[in-house]
Amino acid sequence: MSVRRLAEDQFQPAAFAFNDENAVWADKTIQKYPAGRQQSAVIPLLMRAQEQDGWVTRAAIEKVANMLDMAYIRVLEVATFYTQFQLGPVGTRAHIQVCGTTPCMLRGSEGLMSVCKSKIHHHPFERNAEGTLSWEEVECLGACVNAPMVMIGKDTYEDLTPERLAEIIDTFDAGNGASITPGPQIDRHFSSPEGGPTTLTDAEPKKKASAKKVVADAATATVDAAPVPPSEAARAKSTDAETNAALKTPVTAPKAAANNAKAVEEQAAAPAADAGKPSLTDKNRPAGIERPATPDDLKLISGVGPKIEGTLHELGIFTFAQVAGWKKAERDWVDGYLNFKGRIDRDDWVKQAKALAKGGEAEYIKVFGKKPR
């Protein structure tokens, strides 16, 4: 924890006053507390003062102390204790607080700080030339599960890469910060696993019964139709063109009857949202290969977790070289299939895969300045 002092005199304004709207708000806030307990409003009032002027000035501290009948030193103690309070002028459009605590550090916060140094100022708390941006390193902000992350104003931006943070900074600097959706910057719902749930994924009981019936039908057909291959039996029972296409692919066709039944079950239980996926028979679907003896660890590509890797395997994608060779149309197809909303290009899977295919982790570090995840 660094020493926190008030800004030097040259920055301190002579006086502070809440504007009309904030003055009304402050009166109401103070009245929320019982007589003799008005000091409890010290943090809300200081925060409102900061929101009004961008930072907490000495004059604001004295004003709040007077309003709450507190000694100046008591309010100063509060303002200097909590790092949420800025004690000097910060960027007028964004002050970026980069979490540097262990989980974020292990997931790349140093790369985020490098972006801040290059785009804003080499030193924390120093503003850029225009005075619109500033940054600092802070301790854990409580979003470790989606590390690395930053906070800007009251919002957090999580699952960041240096490239994504650079985009966010540029957007704020252009005055369009409100256009960015806070929270995870990848296809993650709050803090659930990347790529969707990996547990408790059973369909609701009604759907499950329906799926079971399909499986039973498929199994019956498998027996009745012998020596027709089980996959053919499963196909005959499915009216879903996508299911048929999936079962016809070279990668899934040789599966055993049990696997076919399972595939039918998964298709039957699939949510309606899957209907928006690009077709498995689309010409832009990247070519798959048979599973090699030792597939590459696709999870080394930032943005690929165990579930996504499993889906890529189902598509016949097993090597970095395959991903490195994807053209734009193929990337768009995979992005749509994974419902990634542009994340494949945003995370630059192709560049990552090229580095990994060329020289493994060593080459990745050379290109990106950090270890693959």
Give me the residues that bind ligand FES (CB under 6 A), please: 99, 101, 103-104, 140-144, 147, 149
Our CB check for ligand FES shows the closer of 104 and 280 to be 104
Smallest separation, CB 356 to ligand FES (Å): 26
Our CB check for ligand FES shows the closer of 96 and 211 to be 96
Smallest separation, CB 137 to ligand FES (Å): 11
Our CB check for ligand FES shows the closer of 103 and 193 to be 103
The candidate with the shortest Cα–Cα distance to 233, out of 213, 268, 261, is 261
The candidate with the shortest Cα–Cα distance to 124, out of 149, 158, 154, 98, is 98
Smallest separation, CB 313 to ligand FES (Å): 31
Smallest separation, CB 154 to ligand FES (Å): 15
Taking the C-alpha atoms of residue 358 and residue 232, their distance in angstroms, rounded to an integer, is: 41
HEC secondary structure over 62-80: HHHHHHHCCCHHHHHHHHH
Cβ-defined contacts of 186-194 (< 8 Å, 24+):
186/159, 186/303, 186/340, 186/343, 186/347, 187/338, 187/339, 187/340, 187/341, 187/343, 188/146, 188/159, 191/143, 191/145, 191/146, 193/305, 193/307, 194/159, 194/303, 194/305, 194/307, 194/308
Our CB check for ligand FES shows the closer of 144 and 186 to be 144
Our CB check for ligand FES shows the closer of 39 and 101 to be 101
Smallest separation, CB 142 to ligand FES (Å): 6
Smallest separation, CB 192 to ligand FES (Å): 17
Pair 212, 187: CB distance under 8 Å: no
Smallest separation, CB 99 to ligand FES (Å): 3
Q: Would you list the DSSP string of 270-319?
A: --GGGGGSPPTT-TTSPPP-PPPSS---GGGSTT--HHHHHHHHHTT---
Our CB check for ligand FES shows the closer of 30 and 149 to be 149
Smallest separation, CB 302 to ligand FES (Å): 17
Taking the C-alpha atoms of residue 72 and residue 70, their distance in angstroms, rounded to an integer, is: 6
Our CB check for ligand FES shows the closer of 158 and 335 to be 158
Our CB check for ligand FES shows the closer of 108 and 288 to be 108
Give, in order, the Cα–Cα distances in Å from 371 to each of 20, 124, 259, 347. Answer: 52, 25, 37, 15
